[in-house]
Structure 1
Amino acid sequence: MGGHSIEVRSDVVVKRYRSSGYDEPGREWRALRLLDEHDPGLAPAPVTAELAADPPTVVMSRLDGATVSGEITGKLVDALAEAVTGVQQAIPRRVLERVPPRAGHPVELLRLVRERAAAAEPDPAIAEAFRAASAWVARPALAEQLARPGTPVFGTGDGNIANYLWDGTKVRVIDFEYSGRSDRAFELAEVTEHIAVWENDPAGMTAVLERLELTAEEAARLTECRRLMALFWLLRARKEIRSAQADRMLALLEPG
């Protein structure tokens, strides 16, 4: 989806958008303003925006910290859990109801994954995982399950681990191009199953997820959303990581 260029200055970051098909500049600017109002410091502060410019531009404050990398252990686990939860729950429900849905929805992703799975010619090394995942994703009731509304939250729309900055004490969040109103299980699946998370740490965000309290309904929906995300990444995985992604797919398909 799209792209952008970044100019890092001493006190601000200038983001210029090469694509606006999903209203990326508008989504980012809205997210920065809302988070700055309701949980200042969790994300960059909004400075200025030229949404009608060519290219559209958003200027935001520059945050301390470096991209999360390496093992997700110790204090980082709690800080990530706090940041993930903070973004999702910062915006009051009455305000969130007026926020447009994030780019992408579980049912849309299901449709895309079904199409790609039907057209794919999988590597023999991942044949077992692909057969099992194809059988799961073809279930007629799955679309109905995913269409049911989950717990409403604000979603970043992007689970890339590079969007989390760690200064040794606190994690802050960047990149809201696809953000909007979403549901908790889908957003948690996005951040736990993103391929960059598993490439960073073979244990992924497992420890972070264990810090979060979910209702029985959220946990059941999360399982299906994680499977959906895992299959999406299995279909896109590079050859050198395809086997590991296949193993994760099979693990997620095991009965709970």
Structure 2
Amino acid sequence: MHADRVVKTYASWDRGEHEQEWRALKILAQYAPDLAPLPVVAELHAEPPVVVMSRLDGVPLRGQTVTAEQIKAMAEAITTLHKSVPASALAVMAPSPWNPSVAVAKARRLRAEQPYLGEDPVVLRAFAMGAEWLDSCAPEELVSGEATPVLGLSDGNLANYLWDGKRVQMVDWEDSGRSDRAFELAEVIEHISRFDGTFDGATLLAYVELTVAEAARVLDLQRLLAFTWLCTLGPGGVFSGRNPHGTLARQADRLRDLFN
């Protein structure tokens, strides 16, 4: 970290994360320069690769009580992102590595593995509800259904959203690519980082204009992502030790709410 720039050296890059981030920063510099760091220089063929970008002022929203003002600014930033990049640029862009098709496949794999989630009946009932829904035809529609293409950050971690007192900007574009507007909204609303503080995803949606079909698609994608998170939070799960005590029970309540 320098006064005016950030030097990002990648610890892993097998999925082309450095190339995806550099490409996104250049596109955003052209179409939405106030949303993200500006690209300075890149050493994409070095080992490890390096991307240098401008440094943004601001505090990550993760771990905070995210206010209504900040949520509105988030919605404005996300809306600007989704409207700024033209269809011609999106058409030649590689898909994000995290997308509805990948998410459905991951959820089905986790469901088949029958992850150990402890003995809490509330948690087990939430898993059963999610598994029953996943076994239905609804998830297939998430892959084949109508979607609005956008450039997506494809990482809903609230740490990637910086508040400078007036606006929200976004960092960490290594998973970015052509995405689905509904998926991007569901991803930020359901990301487990919300449990590190307080974040009201319903308020975010209230600031975003959605058609009836888009709203229904967002809800189903929320269910998909919430179920996936539940499967990873049990004792011994990959994310069980990274989150505050009680996260599994809270996630079970969240998933049940999405089905009621």
Give CA deviations for 1:220-247 in whole Å, capped at 9, x if unaligned.
Answer: 1111110011011111223631000000
Aligned equivalent of 1:118, options 109, 112, 123:
112
Distance apart, 1:142 and its partner CA: 2.3
Give CA deviations for 1:23-55 in whole Å, capped at 9, x if unaligned.
Answer: 100100011011111111210000000100010
**CA RMSD of superposed structures (Å):** 1.4
User: CA–CA distance in 2 between the matches of 1:141 and 1:222?
Assistant: 12
Distance apart, 1:216 and its partner CA: 1.1
Aligned equivalent of 2:5, options 5, 12, 15:
12
Distance apart, 1:141 and its partner CA: 4.7
1:106–1:147 Cα contact (<8 Å) kept: no
Aligned to 1:215: 211
User: CA–CA distance in 2 between the matches of 1:67 and 1:36?
Assistant: 21
Query: How much identity, in percent, do the aligned residues show?
Result: 41
Aligned equivalent of 1:226, options 222, 226, 245:
222
Q: Structure 2, unaligned stretches of length 5 or more?
A: 234-239
1:127 aligned onto 2:97: no
Matches for 1:158-177 after TM superposition, within 5 Å:
158-177=155-174
Aligned equivalent of 2:200, options 204, 207, 215:
204
Aligned to 2:237: none
Matches for 1:72-221 after TM superposition, within 5 Å:
72-119=66-113, 120-125=115-120, 126-201=123-198, 203-221=199-217
User: CA–CA distance in 2 between the matches of 1:142 and 1:81?
Assistant: 26
1:65–1:166 Cα contact (<8 Å) kept: yes
Distance apart, 1:19 and its partner CA: 1.6
Give CA deviations for 1:184-236 in whole Å, capped at 9, x if unaligned.
Answer: 111101110000023321x4322111111101111111111100110111112
Q: 1:145 to 1:59 in 2, by over 3 A?
A: closer
2:64–2:196 Cα contact (<8 Å) kept: no
* TM-score using structure 2 length: 0.90
Higher mean C-alpha displacement, 140-149 vs 169-178 = 140-149
Structure 1: which 4+ aligned runs deviate by more than 3 Å?
none
User: CA–CA distance in 2 between the matches of 1:48 and 1:18?
Assistant: 18
2:99–2:154 Cα contact (<8 Å) kept: no
Q: 1:106 to 1:21 in 2, by over 3 A?
A: same
Give CA deviations for 1:56-88 in whole Å, capped at 9, x if unaligned.
Answer: 110000001111142222321221111111222
1:55 aligned onto 2:61: no
Give CA deviations for 1:132-152 in whole Å, capped at 9, x if unaligned.
Answer: 111011113522443224011
* TM-score using structure 1 length: 0.92
1:189–1:225 Cα contact (<8 Å) kept: yes
Distance apart, 1:22 and its partner CA: 1.8
User: CA–CA distance in 2 between the matches of 1:232 and 1:199?
Assistant: 18
Paired positions, count: 246
Distance apart, 1:107 and its partner CA: 1.9
Q: Structure 1, unaligned stretches of length 5 or more?
A: 1-7
Larger relative contact order (C-alpha < 8 A, sep ≥ 6)? 2
1:154–1:180 Cα contact (<8 Å) kept: yes
1:149–1:183 Cα contact (<8 Å) kept: no
1:253 aligned onto 2:259: yes
2:150–2:180 Cα contact (<8 Å) kept: yes
Partner SS state of residue 124, structure 1: coil
User: CA–CA distance in 2 between the matches of 1:50 and 1:168?
Assistant: 33
